[in-house]
Amino acid sequence: MTETQPKVTFTKNYGFRKELNRRVDAYFQSQNISTRDNPAMYIKTAVLFSWVISAWVFTLFGPPQIWIKVISCIFLGLGIAGVAFNVGHDANHGAYSRKKIVNNILGITYDIIGLSSYLWKFRHNFLHHKYTNLLGHDVEIHGGGLVRMTVYVEHKWYHSFQHIFIWLIYTIIPFYWSIHDIGFITVNRKYHTYDIPKLKPIDLLIFVSGKFIWLGLFLGIPITIGYTPIQALIGFCITYMTYGLVSITIFMLAHVMEAADFIESSGDLKIEDEWAIFQTRTTVDFAPNNQFLTWYLGGLNYQVVHHLFPNICHIHYPQISKILADVCEDFGVKYNVCPNFTAALASNYRWLKLMGTAPHLD
């Protein structure tokens, strides 16, 4: 018997999204610039690919000293995160280019670094972006039962320590994703009550090939050129633990924050709000004036903007954020912004600690 998927509807329309879209469209028209296919993005892509390739080559063929190898692996992990934040993320949202084939090709970078682009598009683009912080729908806030991100999740004794052990969890998430992707493709076939769309032969080929290329690049080739399996595995772990720590921290700073709303879902749910306002309530921007973070994170420190305009290249987010702030002020909508990276980390830490020590909130 097929399980019925609970319905979520947004019952209000205040005109917020319509006005925001109008002003953003007017901005692009007045500046005579494209929302995608931007030269600045091409340059950034070349820089990030060069970063990863040179770091990979230097790690394998550079000086043999252990401390240099460790630093090289960390630098490689940071580069992989940069490619994921910028190139893979934009491409898999269709925000890199107006040409679908370009987005599809660059989106495969996720598969090459160990993450299924096919599953990511369903889990992230659809479930997370449509139902942000909505328990039972947004897979990314459930924490696998290990982390309690919302008061609507049952409190366990070990959650009292989550604000401490969470940093270790971040480092192993990439391995968890890669292994569980195989399970979701072959056995589970669903997230919560959502059936994963059936893969076409080309999707399955990309999925399988991606895993082999990923393991070949980071384990197979190092072993082939003379590193012992243990040495290769240690380097692989350092690289991907770095990538995991950075990438998951950034996600948490966008949604698992004191300022973000969390919504409980039981059966069919009617949210008394407009979808765009709901996105603004459940998401947080941080460090808007930090140009380096904005460049490196692919604009993901402008997460509210990203959720409202996921199909626009992230290089435009800083300007769009100014338009968003004006529209929020006009409509009386709170625009959640942490002034800097440190403040965002502190807010995330306080929230995780609160969720670990308070079974219920009044």
pLDDT, tens digit (0-9, with 9 covering 90-100), for 195-207: 899 999 999 999 9
pLDDT in tens, 146-168: 899 998 888 999 999 999 999 99
Q: Which uninterrupted H or E stretch holds 338?
A: strand 337-338
Do 106 and 99 meet the contact criterion of CB atoms below 8 Å apart?
Answer: no
Q: Which uninterrupted H or E stretch holds 8?
A: strand 8-10
pTM: 0.93
Do 253 and 348 meet the contact criterion of CB atoms below 8 Å apart?
Answer: yes
**pLDDT grade, residue 7 (50/70/90)?**
confident
User: Hey, which residues does 134 pair with through a beta bridge?
Assistant: 263
Do 263 and 290 meet the contact criterion of CB atoms below 8 Å apart?
Answer: no
Taking 90 as the threshold, does the pLDDT of residue 122 lie above it?
yes
Across residues 336-355, what is the average pLDDT? 96
Do 281 and 334 meet the contact criterion of CB atoms below 8 Å apart?
Answer: yes
pLDDT in tens, 290-325: 999 999 999 999 999 999 999 999 999 999 999 999
Picking from 260, 258, 282, the residue whose alpha carbon sits closest to that of residue 271 is 282
Q: What per-residue confidence (pLDDT) applies to 86? A: 97
Q: What per-residue confidence (pLDDT) applies to 361? A: 55
pLDDT in tens, 234-263: 999 999 999 999 999 999 999 999 999 998
Q: What per-residue confidence (pLDDT) applies to 219? A: 97
**pLDDT grade, residue 2 (50/70/90)?**
very low
Taking 60 as the threshold, does the pLDDT of residue 73 lie above it?
yes
**pLDDT grade, residue 1 (50/70/90)?**
very low
Percent of the chain past pLDDT 70, that is, above it, reads 97
Taking 90 as the threshold, does the pLDDT of residue 186 lie above it?
no
**Mean predicted lDDT score pLDDT of the chain:** 93
Q: Give me the DSSP letters along 265-332.
A: --SSEEESS-HHHHHHHS--EE-TT-HHHHHHTTTTTSHHHHHH-TTS-GGGHHHHHHHHHHHHHHHT
Q: What per-residue confidence (pLDDT) applies to 268? A: 73
pLDDT in tens, 219-232: 999 999 999 999 99
Taking 80 as the threshold, does the pLDDT of residue 362 lie above it?
no
Taking 90 as the threshold, does the pLDDT of residue 272 lie above it?
no
**pLDDT grade, residue 4 (50/70/90)?**
low
**Both tokens of residue 57?**
């080559």
Q: What Cα–Cα distance (Å) separates residue 41 from each residue in 145, 219, 298? A: 38, 30, 10
Q: What per-residue confidence (pLDDT) applies to 360? A: 62
